[in-house]
Amino acid sequence: MVFAATGIGLTQCDQMPSSAIEAWATPGADRRDIREWALAHALLAPNPHNMQPWIADLREEGAITLHVDPDRLLPETDPYGRQILIGHGTFLELLDLAAQQAGYRARIDLFPNGSASATSDAASIAQYPVARIGLIKDGSLQPDPLFAAIQARRSCKEPFDVERDLSEGHAADLRASNIDPAIGLTLTLTGSLPATLRDLTRDAMTLEMKTPRTLRESIDVMRIGADEIAENPDGIDLNGPMFWWLKKFGLMTREKAMTPGTMAYQGGIDYALGWADATPSFGWITTEHNDRPTQVAAGRAYVRLNLQATASGVAMHPVSQLLQEYPEMTDLQRRFYGVTETPSGHTVQMLFRLGYAESPGPTPRRPLDALLRT
């Protein structure tokens, strides 16, 4: 952001609380139940606004029933719950990788009781279990090498090196990680299209921030400062010396972040446009269908790409704004579908930035027990 902290220079104040990121250190180390060990890895999955919208019911012996947490939806920017279900796909893929690592086959039965239609409202997705998972011991399994990248995986929300396009070798690595034939993957490395996508990304981010109800949805889940992050290790975390001083002097509050003309409001726009501009390459995932199982499958494919990017030293960051399905975004989304030549009737499930940058620290995670029903 364009904020400037004072010169007093308390460079170590307001650091990320260790309690908020301890889940990344040794996931599942204190768990004897293989289900909980696998879930401790799954909760490190990327998900919309870091809402961590998962409930894992362990009350059936030897099984996990995965549900949507109805209190962790994003109805303004994700009115059909599509992105929330993509976040359940990322969760299931990490759970599957962890199970394989431990010598268990994850038998995943999606929507065992049926599912809401893709055009029903977000709340409807919480009415049905997303999956029932059984873990079966299987000595013939070969662990997936992507498991090793789980703890280092990040969504890099920073400017990328604009002097470095994504290399062809790294693009090939990403393509090879996409093992689902129903998932279309497009990477744009050079030429004029990345510039066009940067412009559309800027416009979509600006529109979201200038639409009060969609901005409010993000503001409501901001955690400003280490104390708030420690209390609620989810949502959009803002911490460090700059935010400490801004909060101390009343310059960074939720209401100011909602108010045009304030430093907090303009700073949020400048920050977002900064990373939009500093994006050399883009990728996106397309599917022919858009039913609920397909949305979950898109999440599984996305996190595999993210893990491969991590293993290859590539920075990756999802850009959800252009794909959000509220009325004000319709025109920009139509333009995006046009310039990407998306076939009629197909759905772009994920759009993401690709490039090179220093890896950021981990994002907060709730304790595993907060997700469990036992």
- pLDDT tens figures, 258-296: 999 998 899 888 888 889 999 999 999 999 999 999 999
Q: For residue 156, what are its two tokens?
A: 């890099």
Quote the pLDDT of residue 107.
98
Which three-class secondary structure string do you get for 184-211? EEEEECCCCHHHHHHHHHHHHHHHHHHC
Quote the pLDDT of residue 23.
98
User: Residue 118 is part of a domain; what is its CATH number?
Assistant: 3.40.109
Residues of the chain with pLDDT under 70: 1-12
| 361 within domain boundaries | no
Quote the pLDDT of residue 240.
86
Rounded Cα–Cα distance for residues 111 and 130 (Å): 5
Range of the domain at 89: 18-151
Quote the pLDDT of residue 9.
47
Q: Which of the listed residues 88, 118, 151 is the one where a domain comes to its end?
A: 151
| 83 within domain boundaries | yes
Q: Do 276 and 319 belong to one domain?
A: yes
**Counted domains in the chain:** 2
Burial class, 13, CB count within 10 angstroms (exposed 0-12 / middle 13-18 / buried 19+): middle
| 50 within domain boundaries | yes
Q: Is the pTM of this model over 0.75?
A: yes
Q: Name the 3-class secondary structure at 249.
A: coil
Report the candidate in 174, 182, 146, 164 with the shortest Cα–Cα distance to residue 295: 182
Quote the pLDDT of residue 6.
40
Quote the pLDDT of residue 8.
43
| 33 within domain boundaries | yes
Rounded Cα–Cα distance for residues 99 and 121 (Å): 33
